Structure 1
Amino acid sequence: MSYEIVKKENSEITIQATVGKDEFEKAVKSAYNKNKGKFTVPGFRKGKVPQSIIEKQYGEGVFFEDAVNDLLQVHYEKALDALEITPVARPDIDVTEIGKGQDLVFTALVTVAPEFTLENYKGIEVEKINVDVTDEMLDTELEKTREMNARLISVTDRAVQDGDTVIMDYSGFLGEEQFEGGTAENQELVIGSGRFIPGFEEQLIGKALGSESEINVTFPEDYQAENLKGQSVVFKVKINEIKFKELPELDDEFAKDVSEFDTLAEYRESIKKELEESSKESAVAAQRDKVLEAVAGLLTVEIPEKMVDAEVDGMLREFDQQLRQQGLSLEQYVQFTGGNLDELKSNMREDALARVKTGLVIEKVMEQEAIEATDEDVEAELDKIAELQKRDKEEIRKLFAQDNFEYLKSNLKSRKTVDFLVDQAKLV
């Protein structure tokens, strides 16, 4: 076999691989042995039909596809190794020569990362991010805690008001027919939450406890159910309960109930310290992002579309996993939001391009500054992971040793590179 580069243009390399005829014939023979049981020819038992007879009846290329698939998988990887090429996306492969008693020749159009040099990244000016904890932030946190500790008090002497929680039965009608999904019993709804169709909640204001009424609304034109898009419907609603939210007083007793502190002043001070710590962490992360964004802005090289496509696919897989953890599928999400997969990919494209650029500059700075992950770095990281996960360090070591610590070292090198860029940046 032989491998060679036949064309190189920007970030696309065309390689040609030639597989000798003997190896090709051997692959065809293997394909025959795997598939001969599928062929029936009069005069022969199933699975016993000679290769030559099958090829005569079905064409000499009947086993070529399976043979080629097996060979491509092996020789594409060998060609990349031999030519020292690192692809960044799936290749476009084309078989150019094939036939009985001849070599198999195929070409692969491979996308690689663009070649570039990076300068002026040391001392790059970046806006300094400061996050100060304000009284408004403290008040917001306290209000969240009050909301969490609020009580719902039943109302019997007045009608529904904005902000109330109502417990209701309802049935939805399109014309004279009830429509699917439009009926519920003892459904809880906070008036003003915007959970229901526009106009529904507003019409409940002023309704009395135990009252039965008709609510007229129109479904949005982009509603997910085709039969209800833009349709005017009627909901027959009965108010079973009305409740209002009673917030606890913001005093020392409140502080004792929700914390380990005896006074509101002490509790407020503890929240301030927590906010300062979390704000500091957020500022550090935001500062790193700002520095990376600035360094990525130094790139003038054209980014291959296939690199962005591959990043979008990766982001889509990440999003799909996040949805599944919440009990949703990607298909359900698309349906609920009234969009489609192409729109979702398009919306991810700008972020995907930014991620590709960030990855490229990190790799380039890592290379130019010869940043490595030392044994001491690895040991320190193993200690940190073991402490965070409350697991034995040797157990963690065995886990990462499976790939000779390459995954761990790669992450450490990237992190050290970003640390280097942040240290070198001029914060203004």
Structure 2
Amino acid sequence: MKSAVETLNPTRVRLSIEVPFEELKDSLDAAYKKINQQVTVKGFRKGKIPARVIDQRFGRGAVLEEAVNDALPKFYTDAVNEGELNVLGQPEVDITELKDGELLAFTAEVDVRPEIEIPDYSGIEVTVDAVEVTDEDVDKAVEQLRGRFGSTNPVERAAAEGDVVTIDLEAKVDGEVLEDGVASDVSYTIGSGELLDGIDEAVTGLEAGGEATFTSELKGGSAEGKEAEVTVKVTAVSARELPELDDEFAQMASEFDTLAELREDSRKRLEESKQYEQATQAQERVLEELLKLAEVPIPEKLLADEVQTRKHNLEHHQLGQMGLTLDKYLEIQGKTLEEFEAETSEQAVKGIKTQFILDELVNKEKLNVNQEELTEHLLRRAQSSGMSPDQFAQAVVEGGQVPMLVGEVARGKALAVVVEAAKVVDTNGEVVDLEDDEEETATEAAEDEKSEAEAVEKADEKNEA
């Protein structure tokens, strides 16, 4: 077999392959055997029909077609390996010559991973939010904890902000009551903003038995997005009673003996949370700067497939579960189809660029993933998926997704290398030390491009004709 590689552009090549006919012998034998099992000829036992009879009865062309279809993947793969190509997806194959007994010639056009020059990233500098926890932040956190230990008691007075009211609702559109627009015994905390716009004003001041009507845009259901006339009737009013903020509350709500200790622990937790947010922000901004520095050609077919996948998933899965069409979603978002497609394409380009660059860094820095790192990552992914670690691990193994998880961890380590070399300062001008959070948050930052990463890996897998 002879093969030659022609570079069509930085992300696509054409392989020209010539195969001497004697190298098709095994495939020809397999073709005759397969046809033997599928046809019957009077006077011959099934499976014992001579090759010459098959040629006469069914045509030599049918045998050649079967043999070539069987042989193409092997010769294509041999040519890819010979050319040391990193192909993406399936090739477009064109048989250019087939001379019985002499020669098989074909071409295969296929996308390839582009060669990427990793830029000098040592000069990257980004600014992130400073970690600042105010007394007001601590007050809010303690107040939220206090709310969890509150109780409600019925009252005979007009409803006010913070009260819990039991209400009946009826929504009409164009004068007609909606089938899914009636609800009874709904518990609602005034001021929470958890129901319809305008409901707080409508129920405030009403006693049990009171009724009011207001206009609001529906947030869900069959008439989502439409203006509706909503009638609300208050059937009960209850006041929330919160425990006193004192040492007794601290002992009831935590492991601490005093309110001062509880507040100090809340401050520490808030600081840790903000430090994590700061680290995540640093990863994202360093990655943005890295992407600006690198020139990364994007395979057109890979990009088109990813944009289509994103659009399909949104339209048929996410929006489908919400009972929305793409047109309705765009109307709610205030976007045109062209704007949506442009944004989707931009996001896909960013994801593909991210994976290509970080994968190249993994190779350049010779980064490996050990079992402990993979296990830690698996545990995090299991937690975010809502599955137990054992269930998630089983799903990953059965789905053949272990290489994908390894890739996520490796790309996180690659991004951590870039962040380590970058200068990160906060809005106060202080240099930020991210060493403790660097690798974990980098893995999660790289993980954010999961859809595109899967697209590229799937394309990597489809490297046979």
TM-score for both structures, normalised by structure 2: 0.64
2:321 paired with 1:332: yes
**Alpha-carbon distance in 2 for matches of 1:214, 1:270:** 46
Structure 1 residues 139 and 309 mapped into 2: Cα distance closer, same or farther (>3 Å)? farther
Please tell me the residue identity of whatever aligns with 1:293: E
Please tell me the residue identity of whatever aligns with 1:422: V
Match of 2:241 in 1: 246
Match of 2:289 in 1: 294
Alignment of 1:269-288 (within 5 A): 269-288=264-283
**Alpha-carbon distance in 2 for matches of 1:386, 1:52:** 57
Please tell me the residue identity of whatever aligns with 2:351: R
Match of 1:126 in 2: 126
Tell whether the 8 Å contact from 1:14 to 1:108 is kept in structure 2 after alignment.
Answer: yes
- State the identity %: 29
Match of 1:95 in 2: 94
Match of 1:358 in 2: 354
- Of the candidates 414, 417, 425, which is equivalent to residue 417 of structure 1? 414
Structure 1 residues 233 and 426 mapped into 2: Cα distance closer, same or farther (>3 Å)? closer
Deviation string, structure 1 residues 69-97 (Cα, Å, up to 9, x no partner): 6655555444432322112x434514344
Q: How far is 1:211 from its partner? A: 3.5
**Alpha-carbon distance in 2 for matches of 1:132, 1:232:** 42
Structure 1 residues 2 and 273 mapped into 2: Cα distance closer, same or farther (>3 Å)? same
Alignment of 1:29-428 (within 5 A): 29=32, 32=35, 74-87=74-87, 89-97=88-96, 101=100, 106-127=106-127, 130-158=130-158, 160-174=159-173, 178-199=177-198, 202-212=201-211, 215=214, 225=222, 228=223, 233-309=228-304, 331-333=320-322, 335=324, 338-339=328-329, 347-368=343-364, 370-373=365-368, 378=370, 381=373, 413-428=410-425
Please tell me the residue identity of whatever aligns with 1:339: Y
Deviation string, structure 1 residues 242-274 (Cα, Å, up to 9, x no partner): 234333332222211111112111111112222
Q: Structure 1: any 5+ residue segments left out of the alignment?
A: 321-327, 390-395
Please tell me the residue identity of whatever aligns with 2:248: E
Q: How far is 1:386 from its partner? A: 11
Match of 1:12 in 2: 12
Q: Structure 2: any 5+ residue segments left out of the alignment?
A: 331-336, 383-392, 426-465
RMSD: 5.0
> What is the SS of the residue equivalent to 1:293?
helix
Tell whether the 8 Å contact from 1:293 to 1:358 is kept in structure 2 after alignment.
Answer: no
Q: How far is 1:24 from its partner? A: 6.0
Deviation string, structure 1 residues 89-138 (Cα, Å, up to 9, x no partner): 43451434487958665543322232232342224333366423332332
Please tell me the residue identity of whatever aligns with 2:139: D
Q: How far is 1:67 from its partner? A: 7.3
> What is the SS of the residue equivalent to 1:170?
strand
Q: How far is 1:224 from its partner? A: 6.7
> What is the SS of the residue equivalent to 1:335?
coil
> What is the SS of the residue equivalent to 1:127?
strand
Structure 1 residues 178 and 62 mapped into 2: Cα distance closer, same or farther (>3 Å)? farther
**Alpha-carbon distance in 2 for matches of 1:35, 1:207:** 82
> What is the SS of the residue equivalent to 2:243?
coil
Which shifted more, 265-274 or 330-339? Answer: 330-339
Which shifted more, 135-144 or 415-424? Answer: 415-424
**Alpha-carbon distance in 1 for matches of 2:37, 2:340:** 42
TM-score for both structures, normalised by structure 1: 0.69
Structure 1 residues 297 and 154 mapped into 2: Cα distance closer, same or farther (>3 Å)? same
Please tell me the residue identity of whatever aligns with 1:355: G
Deviation string, structure 1 residues 37-68 (Cα, Å, up to 9, x no partner): 9xxx9xxxx99999779958xx976995x877
Deviation string, structure 1 residues 392-413 (Cα, Å, up to 9, x no partner): xxxx9xx99xx9x977875665
Please tell me the residue identity of whatever aligns with 1:378: N
Q: How far is 1:151 from its partner? A: 2.3
**Alpha-carbon distance in 1 for matches of 2:89, 2:200:** 51
Please tell me the residue identity of whatever aligns with 1:169: D
Deviation string, structure 1 residues 295-342 (Cα, Å, up to 9, x no partner): 22211344334444566678789x88xxxxxxx856314728842799
Tell whether the 8 Å contact from 2:161 to 2:191 is kept in structure 1 after alignment.
Answer: yes
Q: How many residue pairs end up in the alignment?
A: 393
> What is the SS of the residue equivalent to 1:245?
strand
Tell whether the 8 Å contact from 1:60 to 1:100 is kept in structure 2 after alignment.
Answer: no
Structure 1 residues 210 and 8 mapped into 2: Cα distance closer, same or farther (>3 Å)? same
**Alpha-carbon distance in 2 for matches of 1:154, 1:30:** 85
Match of 2:437 in 1: none
